[in-house]
Structure 1
C-alpha cells in the first residue's frame, strides 16, 4: 500500500514552464546565444544550475554559472509576480487535499530553486500539505540523476517500496525509476516532447487519480 506521494512541481502542480521559457529566452537573447526548441525540451526536469553549466561549456560563456543562474532567476521572478492568471493545474489541488485527508505523506522534489518553490508554496498556500520541500539546487547533478528522489524517499515515513513519484518529464521519470520508485507519468499539454513510456502508469488528467486509487498501487513491483 502506498503511504507517501512525491510530487514534482513544474508541470505537475503549477504550469510555470511558460514563465521559465520566457525567462530563459530573454536571458539567451541577452547572452547572444541560440537555443533550438528541441534542445530546450531536453532541459525540462533539469536544474537551472545544470542547464547553465551545459550552456557555459557549449558556448564558452564568460560569467560563472552562479551569476548566470541569478540573472535568469531575476527574469523569472519579475515574470512570475506579474502574471495574475497563473494558477494550479486542473485537478491537482483536489488530489493534494484528498491525499492529505487520507493521511498520506506528501513530499515535494523539484528541480526548481528554493526561492521558486517558496514562491509557489506561498502564492497557492500549499505549504501545510507537504512535510518536506526538496530543491534540485542542493544536488550536484539533476534529473535524470536519481539523487533527488533517493533523498526524498529517505525522508518518507514509509519504506521506499511504499512511495510513488508523480512526474511530467522524461528526465523526471527516468530519475524516479533509477531510484527504484514507482512512477506515475502525468501527460501534460504544458510539457511537450516528453517520453513517459517508461513510467509505471500514465494519466492525462488528475481526475484519474484519487487517494484510494493511489493507495492500492503496488510500487514494489514497479
Structure 2
C-alpha cells in the first residue's frame, strides 16, 4: 500500500516553465549564444547549475562563472515571477494534494528547482502545510535523470520505497524515478509536449484520474 507520494514541482504542481523560459532566453541573449529549441528541451529536469555547466561546455565564449550565471538567471526569474499574475496551480492538483493529505498519505516535494523558487511557489499557493519534506535539486551535484534526488526523498518517507510513488512530467524525471526503483506516475499535460513518459508505470492525462484511494492501491 502506498504511504508516500513524491511530487515534482514544475509541470506537475505549477507551470513555471514559461517564466523559466523567459529568464533563460533573456540571459542567452545577454550572453550572445544561440540555444536551439532541441537543446533547451534537453535541459528539462536539470537544475540551474547543471544547465549552465552544460552550456559552458557547448559555448566556450561564456566567460562568466557558473555561480554568477545562476544568480543572474534567478534575478531575472524572481522579477518575472513576482510580477506575473497569471500563474496558477495546474488543474486538479490542489484537490489531489488535499485529498492525499486528508487521507494520511505523506507528501514530499523533490524538485530540480532552487530552494528560493520552491519557497516562492509554496508561499504564493500556501502549500507548506501539506508537505512533510522539501528536497531541492540544488543540493545534488547531478540533476535528473540521475536518481539521487529521489533516493534521498524516499529516505525521508515514513515507509520503504516500495510504498512510495513519484509523480513526474518529464523524460529525465521519469528516468530518475525508474533509476531509484520507485513506482512512477507520468503526468502528461499540454506542458509536457515533447517529453517521453513511456517508461512510467502509469500515465495519466489529468489529475482527476487519481485520488487517495486509487493511489494507495498502486504497487510496483
TM-score normalized by the length of structure 1: 0.98
1:73 aligns with 2:74: yes
What's the CA shift for 1:39? 1.0
What's the CA shift for 1:57? 1.4
Partner of 1:25: 25
Partner of 1:160: 161
Partner of 1:16: 16
SS at match of 1:134: strand
Residues 41 and 192, structure 1, Cα contact 8 Å, conserved in 2: no
Residues 105 and 131, structure 1, Cα contact 8 Å, conserved in 2: yes
What's the CA shift for 1:191? 2.3
Partner of 2:104: 103
Distance 2:36 2:201 in 1: 31
Q: How far does the alpha carbon of each residue in 1:7-58 deviate from its partner, in whole angstroms, 9 at most, with x for none?
A: 0000000000000000000000000001111111111111010000000111
Distance 1:116 1:57 in 2: 25
Distance 2:172 2:34 in 1: 22
TM-score normalized by the length of structure 2: 0.99
Partner of 1:94: 95
Partner of 1:189: 190
Runs (5+) with no aligned partner, structure 2: none
Partner of 1:6: 6
Q: How far does the alpha carbon of each residue in 1:147-189 deviate from its partner, in whole angstroms, 9 at most, with x for none?
A: 0000000000100000000000000000000000000000021
What's the CA shift for 1:125? 0.0
Alignment root-mean-square deviation, CA: 0.5
SS at match of 1:190: helix
Q: How far does the alpha carbon of each residue in 1:182-202 deviate from its partner, in whole angstroms, 9 at most, with x for none?
A: 000000211221000000000
1:40 aligns with 2:63: no
Runs (5+) with no aligned partner, structure 1: none
Distance 1:208 1:75 in 2: 36
Distance 2:193 2:43 in 1: 12
What's the CA shift for 1:95? 0.1
SS at match of 1:106: strand
4+ residue stretches of structure 1 with deviation over 2 A? Answer: none
1:216 aligns with 2:209: no
Residues 163 and 182, structure 1, Cα contact 8 Å, conserved in 2: yes
Distance 1:169 1:86 in 2: 20
Residues 17 and 191, structure 1, Cα contact 8 Å, conserved in 2: no
1:178 aligns with 2:186: no
Q: How far does the alpha carbon of each residue in 1:31-90 deviate from its partner, in whole angstroms, 9 at most, with x for none?
A: 000111111111111101000000011101111101101101111001101111100000
